[in-house]
A = this chain, B = another copy of it.
Amino acid sequence: MKVGLDVGGTKTDAVAVDDAGTIVGRLRVPTGWGPDAVTQTVIDAVRALGTQRGIDLDAVRSVGIGIPGQIEPGSGRVVHAVNLGVDELDLAAAVSPAFGVPVQVENDVKAAALGAYAMHGADGGRPRPGSMAYLNVGTGIAAGIVSNGVLWRGARGTAGEVGHISVDPGGPLCRCGQRGCIEAFAGGGAVAERWARRGALPVRDIFDAADAGDPAALELRAGLARGVASAIRVLVLTADVDIVVLGGGVTALGERLMTDVAAELSASAEASPFMRSLRLRERVELLPAGSPAAALGAALVGAAGTAEHDAEEALAHG
């Protein structure tokens, strides 16, 4: 048995996964603010899997945590998780004593990529792809690339950071300082900032206003589709992944977003026989709303870490 958690800005998703890879328990709890509260959220969520979902916590061999922010390679330390009020936190060291099992920490988008890959084809009908990019369209934009079940980690931790590729020198200013970044066009945070009417669901509000013909909303909505389509093209033309799976908060718009993105991809396919040959529309999928992909992926990261831990123990003790 392994446990995985996806620590989000508002909610934390926790799953218990049996040895066959099946999710046997799941719950969501509100995420606390700041290092101590985030640590307590994780501990409480795991304990609740025992008390509320009947998971035998003594059978849990590993805990994996997906969390936004940068993870120092090979450590359980997260830095710059600004949406959680965490500047720096050794989350693995903070959580591990509560359960006495190894704890691994991974960037949430990378964990979701692993989870989405594992779930693809697990439902029977579809063959598992050789490679996949998971494109997270949330407050920001980033991707995780998985090939043959292995995460492409890159040299220095920026693999999949397609959000900060500029696709228009005359485009909107990005919070990173460049102009026309994919994230400036399609990141939920950037789009909401440029939308005059503030509300709980600004991107949905933009789509509604665009449907009603509001020119500013139409422009923002067109930019959003353009940004997502650009990210898909970058991922296929650079890493040549079999499929691109879209997830993250903005994709809660579902088919409303996908229709716009498909139209963008069709436009470049009509202009270019080469782009047409890529059949991009057929290679894009939407992660279902409420998918446990990120928490499942975190559980896989935790278990992989345990396998390494066991091997080291065996070597140390001969």
Contacts and interface: CB of A to CB of B under 8 A. Distances in A.
Interface of A: 129-131, 143, 145, 147, 152-162, 164-170, 174, 176-179, 230, 233-242, 268, 271-275, 278
B176 A155 contact: no
Given A272-B164, A273-B177, A131 B158 contact: no
A81 to B, nearest CB: 16
A240 B167 contact: no
Contacts of A275: 164, 176-178
A260 B174 CA distance: 24
A165 B233 contact: yes
Main secondary structure of the interface of A (DSSP, over half): loop
A173 B47 CA distance: 59
A167 B238 CA distance: 14
A130 B155 contact: yes
A243 to B, nearest CB: 8
A177 B177 CA distance: 31
A13 B238 CA distance: 28
A280 to B, nearest CB: 11
B239 A156 contact: no
A26 to B, nearest CB: 32
Contacts of A153: 240
B178 A236 contact: no
A238 B176 contact: no
A261 B178 CA distance: 17
B129 A177 contact: no
B239 A238 contact: yes
A183 B134 CA distance: 27
A80 to B, nearest CB: 11
A160 B129 contact: no
Nearest to A238: B238
A155 B234 contact: no
B278 A239 contact: no
A57 B237 CA distance: 40
Interface centre among A153, A158, A162, A240 (most CB of B within 10 A): A240
B237 A155 contact: no
Nearest to A177: B272
A290 to B, nearest CB: 28
Contacts of A239: 145, 152, 154, 159, 238-239
Contacts of A152: 147, 239-240
